[in-house]
Structure 1
Amino acid sequence: MPPLATPGETRSMHFSYIGSGPYCYANAFAMMLGDQAPSTAVIELATSSPFGMQLIGGALPFFDPYGWTPEAGFDGALAALGWASTVVRGKDAADALARLKEALREGPAWVGPVEMGHLRYQPGKTGPFGADHYLVVLEVDDGRVLLHDPEGHPYASLPLDDFMAAWRAETISYGEPYTMRTAFTRRAEVPELDVIRASIPAAIRWLSMEGEHDMPPGSLGNGEAAEGLAVLIEAGCDDKLRGHLIHFAVRVGARRLADAATCLARAGYAEAARIAAGQARLVGSMQYSLVAADDATAAAALRALAPTYDRLRSALDRPPTPQAS
């Protein structure tokens, strides 16, 4: 990938990231698509997750678009990728389990959202704490569920009761209980560059915060969200907020933006790629600051981040360079 800086601008260089991180639904999708799957970076970009920031209810931050949830991006992402799937929702636990067993006769099933706290094979998980997650279920037999958990647990085995409690998703703020996707079908062969370019209009829409959003009072988006989170951190970052940021929000936010920068550069959106790379650096820099309780530095990074969302939207509005390949 070409560098995202001119000579002498080494501080702005972008280097693509490959490694672990909380990419559960992109990894789960990639498993379901098999050897025809695009990179997880392209899958994640197609969901529009990197394009914005939200502070839900003025208190809960995510480095993803205002009003966005994973489910809001799935259908558009699959369409851009050239795939389709069937969404199945159980009426109750018994109906959901029967539908899952029926689906597994044809192959693995993509399941979620689930409550991560019920996945007791994960160390330290002893009960619900409002964390959403996605899984690929392989088998149900003898009161246990065999699954691939993209959090780093291939062929994990879980008692059926724990799995059903997780799948009920009572503590998840979006989606419906007992949801799964099956019958993944490839409708067209779409090159990755075409997927990236086809995803740009949705990215612009999310960055613009257009349309109706079912958000609680006090919610903020983009620059206002960054400024609002800076104020919260300066006022006293409690353990719950700090834990959410350092264990999830910062990690996945920086990864999404780094992947977005890589994808945008590939597709010829050089200026947008530079902005996304700068956002990734700012969000990623917060990890040490927050772990070390250097909250003033974390707040300063957020204030530097605030004006970049409008710049990114403007850059995406411009056509890509014709030299892109």
Structure 2
Amino acid sequence: MLPYIGSGAYCYANSSAMLLETIGEKVSPAVLEVLSGVGIGAMWHEEQKVIYFGQEIPDRGVSHALELLGFRWTEKSADAEGEPPLEELRRDVEHGPVLLGPLDMGYLTYNPNAAYLGGADHFVLAYRMDEREIYLHDPAGFPFVSLPLSQFVLAWKAEKIFDRLFSYHYWTAPKRVGSPSEEEQAANALRLFQGIYQESASAKPNASVLYGKEAILRVVKRIEEEGGLSPAETGHLSYFAFQLGARRAMDFAVFFSKHAPELAAIKERQAKQFGRCHTLIVEKNEQELANAMRVLADIEEEFRQVLCAK
């Protein structure tokens, strides 16, 4: 197995790692990413014509990871139609950094690409507030940036993020209350992942949302029977989904290598297949991409069956 170390869209995992670092706890973002469960499965949204290689969302995933690692924390949100809880946030920031998210990246104006990122969710660490601005470590490559509170409130409301659970959401004050062994973490993670698959399996049939293998094959149908992928779909897969899928799958492979080697082997094959899909979409070779995604769909189903049989 050849691990990969590098950048990636691990905003909530990186922000969680920074939050834990403030209390002297060093946890790899790769471990936090795996334990979040966000990279388990696949989901197609028909209305948006978009696939995500995962079925859980970071709004819940951060809490999954903290719990599996033995932490307790405070988690807060507020009604999107009400007043943003700036004063409550200010009081909490005075006692220590907070992990904020989801935020709408389109309002993060310190990012020179913000105008093109509206509706994309993001997670950051806030470490200071004053009367005009909030000060952040943004894991997308922007340490020590600040944002006017007027812009921050729009980002924090997250009303354009279609799969959000919360507005004005954040985590703060983590505290270790347990020290699960690696074996215990792996066993508890398996139960979490099985639960994610079971939740989608028990969902009522719905043509607007597909899961797992069927979600991936829906993209194949878009290529072969519906005139090909739209520019938006191509951009999502080229700039985000395939490369993130490859990195996540490799981190899962490393995590499983000691306690579930069969799952690790499947995830390593999946990582390589994600990389193959990325190469093909950038080359604009849609026919070969369709074939590669059929293989990816089979690997996803194999992983689901092996994991759920444990």
- State TM-score, norm by structure 2: 0.90
Match of 2:287 among 281, 285, 296: 296
Gaps of 5+ in 1: 1-13, 320-325
Structure 2 residue 269 is matched with structure 1 residue 281: no
2:135 & 2:205 partners in 1: Cα distance? 36
2:33 & 2:205 partners in 1: Cα distance? 23
1:284 & 1:38 partners in 2: Cα distance? 26
User: What's the C-alpha RMSD, in Å, of the aligned pairs?
Assistant: 2.1
Q: Deviations over 1:53-107 (max 9, x none)?
A: 1111272101112xx2122333332211101211112346754111110101111
Structure 2 residue 218 is matched with structure 1 residue 228: yes
3-state DSSP class of the match of 1:306?
Answer: helix
| Contact 1:47–1:74, Cα closer than 8 Å, also in 2 | yes
Q: Corresponding residue for 2:252?
A: 260
Q: Corresponding residue for 2:173?
A: 183
Question: After the TM superposition, which residues 146-295 of structure 1 pair with which residues of structure 2 at under 5 Å, given as runs?
Answer: 146-173=135-162, 174-210=164-200, 213=203, 217-234=207-224, 235-267=227-259, 269-295=260-286
| Contact 1:209–1:221, Cα closer than 8 Å, also in 2 | no
1:216 & 1:125 partners in 2: Cα distance? 34
Structure 1 residues 48 and 95, CA gap change in structure 2 (3 angstroms) = closer
3-state DSSP class of the match of 1:134?
Answer: strand
Match of 1:69 among 57, 62, 68: 57
Structure 1 residues 168 and 254, CA gap change in structure 2 (3 angstroms) = same
| Contact 1:93–1:178, Cα closer than 8 Å, also in 2 | no
Match of 1:143 among 109, 132, 139: 132
Structure 1 residues 130 and 60, CA gap change in structure 2 (3 angstroms) = same
| Contact 1:56–1:216, Cα closer than 8 Å, also in 2 | no
| Contact 1:230–1:299, Cα closer than 8 Å, also in 2 | yes
1:214 & 1:169 partners in 2: Cα distance? 27
Letter in 2 for 1:74: V
Letter in 2 for 1:281: K
1:46 & 1:250 partners in 2: Cα distance? 20
2:7 & 2:165 partners in 1: Cα distance? 26
Q: Kindly state the Cα deviation for residue 258 of structure 1 after the two structures are TM-superposed.
A: 0.8
3-state DSSP class of the match of 1:89?
Answer: strand
Question: After the TM superposition, which residues 45-124 of structure 1 pair with which residues of structure 2 at under 5 Å, given as runs?
Answer: 45-57=34-46, 59-65=49-55, 68-91=56-79, 94-124=83-113
Match of 2:12 among 25, 29, 34: 25
3-state DSSP class of the match of 2:114?
Answer: coil
Structure 1 residues 40 and 264, CA gap change in structure 2 (3 angstroms) = same
Match of 2:3 among 9, 12, 16: 16
Gaps of 5+ in 2: none
2:301 & 2:109 partners in 1: Cα distance? 42
Q: Deviations over 1:113-168 (max 9, x none)?
A: 01011111112212662100001111112411110001111111112211111111
Q: Kindly state the Cα deviation for residue 291 of structure 1 after the two structures are TM-superposed.
A: 1.7
1:165 & 1:286 partners in 2: Cα distance? 35
| Contact 2:125–2:136, Cα closer than 8 Å, also in 1 | yes
Q: Kindly state the Cα deviation for residue 170 of structure 1 after the two structures are TM-superposed.
A: 1.1
Letter in 2 for 1:117: G
2:50 & 2:72 partners in 1: Cα distance? 32
1:214 & 1:248 partners in 2: Cα distance? 29
Match of 1:311 among 280, 298, 302: 302
| Contact 1:93–1:164, Cα closer than 8 Å, also in 2 | no
3-state DSSP class of the match of 2:165?
Answer: coil
- State TM-score, norm by structure 1: 0.86
Letter in 2 for 1:229: V
Looking at both structures, which has the greater relative contact order when contacts are Cα pairs under 8 Å and sequence separation is at least 6? 1
Number of aligned positions between the proteins: 303
Q: Deviations over 1:231-256 (max 9, x none)?
A: 21343111111111112111221111
Question: Once structures 1 and 2 are overlaid, which stretch shifts more, 131-140 or 84-93?
Answer: 84-93
Structure 1 residues 167 and 294, CA gap change in structure 2 (3 angstroms) = same
3-state DSSP class of the match of 2:101?
Answer: strand
| Contact 1:109–1:137, Cα closer than 8 Å, also in 2 | yes
**Deviation >4 Å, runs of 4+:** 91-95, 208-216
